[in-house]
Chains A and B, each alone.
Chain A
């Protein structure tokens, strides 16, 4: 990307930086900002140019995600949702469906992906949302909860069961029978538009079912989540960078006991740890993105690792950053106060830390070695 996408949207990034605190407090990002970035292709930057996207590779897309994440995790969460919706269409949809839906996602319409249900969080196999085919239409019934960006979305990719199998269907939010209720006061990513989505007898063209029915639910979920995990991981890098920026500035200028607080060793140690956290998260994300770009099968585990390490480091780093900022960072809206709250949600969404750990453990036990296939060594 060089600095193209940063420079091109510099005015927007400045606006985001100046307003992120206000959006956090208001619990809302102005729609014009979101649709403007959407129409510029920035919200799902990996969509190919033939569909109006920027066609970025995983590394460049990651840099962009981290940049936005350093300014505003709510906006970055909207990007994650939009990108995951686009990825699901790309991965599951037919050529006709890609041509029908992707240009909408790069043309200013906003999207979300709905997995979680009141009784199906980590245990997505307990999902009860149903798709029933009826001639050339499909009827969708169910209840989805805590769907990021759903309050803004024009389209929601709803994951549900279809008989013994599973499917993903693109649901326009203005379709009859769709009800969206915003989660009143999320503790983090407060302006990311989390909402409950009720679907009652929603009848849509069968052509909205991505790739048709007959998929396995765990397989479908794993596929769709892969992009979201990568995006969250890079978003966590952003959270750490936002903290590092605020903390280093503060620690150099704030004086206590006759010197800048950075010169107090207990403060300096926290800064070193925060820096190490940012570098660690960046390294695992880069490694995973490299796997995506080379098409290596290692990308599957590398993505889980990046998400898990990113979220863990972000939580620890943000807590440390707030300790350094103390009262200067302890008001809602402040970049570090937001980081502290937003980071915690990153350990919960797109596969909790515990789910990620189970997957990492399973992989380590199965292979008996790390993530690398070690072809070079053979």
Chain B
């Protein structure tokens, strides 16, 4: 996946984002979690991996995850990460605060 595949104009495709995040998690942990699975309580993620997830989302979707968005709850499940990306992309379309 490259950033070029995601453009600001393209409609946000939650399923595709969920698939991409799932692939990244699988590649990094050799585990394919369910979209609703809590990655932290099920031992897949720790704070270091959470940081990797932050950087991954930033690189793949050209968003900035800063300040209050760095809450663990945003990274708890693949679904919550996809929701975060959707929200950040919508916000950055409205206001390009980087």
Interface residues of A (CB under 8 A from B): 90-95, 97, 210-212, 214-216, 218-223, 226, 294-301, 304, 359, 362-363, 366-368, 373
Complexed CA–CA distance, A268 and B52 (Å): 42
Is A300 touching B71 in the complex (CB atoms < 8 A)? no
Q: Does B83 contact A (CB under 8 A)?
A: no
Interface class of chain A by DSSP:
helix
Assuming the contacts A297-B56, A300-B55, asked whether A92 and B66 have C-beta atoms less than 8 A apart, the reply is yes
Complexed CA–CA distance, A368 and B30 (Å): 8
Q: Which residue of B lies closest to A165 (CB)?
A: B71
Is B58 touching A295 in the complex (CB atoms < 8 A)? yes
Is B55 touching A362 in the complex (CB atoms < 8 A)? no
Please give, as numbers and ranges, the residues of chain A lying within 8 Å of B54 by CB-CB distance: 223
Complexed CA–CA distance, A218 and B46 (Å): 8
Q: Which residue of B lies closest to A91 (CB)?
A: B66
CB-CB contacts below 8 Å: B25-49 with A? 27-30, 46-49
Please give, as numbers and ranges, the residues of chain A lying within 8 Å of B56 by CB-CB distance: 297
Is A94 touching B51 in the complex (CB atoms < 8 A)? no
Complexed CA–CA distance, A94 and B68 (Å): 8
Is A214 touching B68 in the complex (CB atoms < 8 A)? yes
Q: Which residue of A lies closest to B65 (CB)?
A: A91
Assuming the contacts A93-B67, A210-B67, A366-B30, asked whether A218 and B55 have C-beta atoms less than 8 A apart, the reply is no
Complexed CA–CA distance, A91 and B50 (Å): 15
Please give, as numbers and ranges, the residues of chain A lying within 8 Å of B29 by CB-CB distance: 366-367
Q: Does B90 contact A (CB under 8 A)?
A: no
Complexed CA–CA distance, A179 and B18 (Å): 49
Please give, as numbers and ranges, the residues of chain A lying within 8 Å of B30 by CB-CB distance: 366-368
Complexed CA–CA distance, A332 and B56 (Å): 46
In the assembled complex, 6 residue pairs joining A and B whose CB atoms fall closer than 8 Å, in A order, are A91-B70, A92-B66, A92-B70, A216-B72, A296-B59, A300-B55
Cβ-neighbour of A301 out of B24, B52, B97 (below 8 A): B52
Is B68 touching A218 in the complex (CB atoms < 8 A)? no
Interface residue range, chain B: 20 to 34
Please give, as numbers and ranges, the residues of chain A lying within 8 Å of B66 by CB-CB distance: 90-93, 211
Is B28 touching A359 in the complex (CB atoms < 8 A)? no
Please give, as numbers and ranges, the residues of chain A lying within 8 Å of B50 by CB-CB distance: 218-219, 222
Please give, as numbers and ranges, the residues of chain A lying within 8 Å of B24 by CB-CB distance: 297
Q: Does B88 contact A (CB under 8 A)?
A: no
Please give, as numbers and ranges, the residues of chain A lying within 8 Å of B51 by CB-CB distance: 219, 222-223, 226, 300
Distance (Å) between the CB of B62 and the closest chain A CB?
9
Is B58 touching A300 in the complex (CB atoms < 8 A)? no
Cβ-neighbour of A211 out of B27, B47, B68 (below 8 A): B68
Complexed CA–CA distance, A105 and B59 (Å): 27
Q: Which residue of A lies closest to B95 (CB)?
A: A95
Complexed CA–CA distance, A218 and B50 (Å): 10
Q: Does B53 contact A (CB under 8 A)?
A: yes
Please give, as numbers and ranges, the residues of chain B lying within 8 Å of A295 by CB-CB distance: 55, 58-59
Complexed CA–CA distance, A237 and B56 (Å): 28
Distance (Å) between the CB of A81 and the closest chain B CB?
20
Is A219 touching B72 in the complex (CB atoms < 8 A)? yes
Cβ-neighbour of A222 out of B48, B67, B71, B97 (below 8 A): B48
Please give, as numbers and ranges, the residues of chain A lying within 8 Å of B48 by CB-CB distance: 222, 300-301, 304, 359, 362-363
Please give, as numbers and ranges, the residues of chain A lying within 8 Å of B46 by CB-CB distance: 218, 362
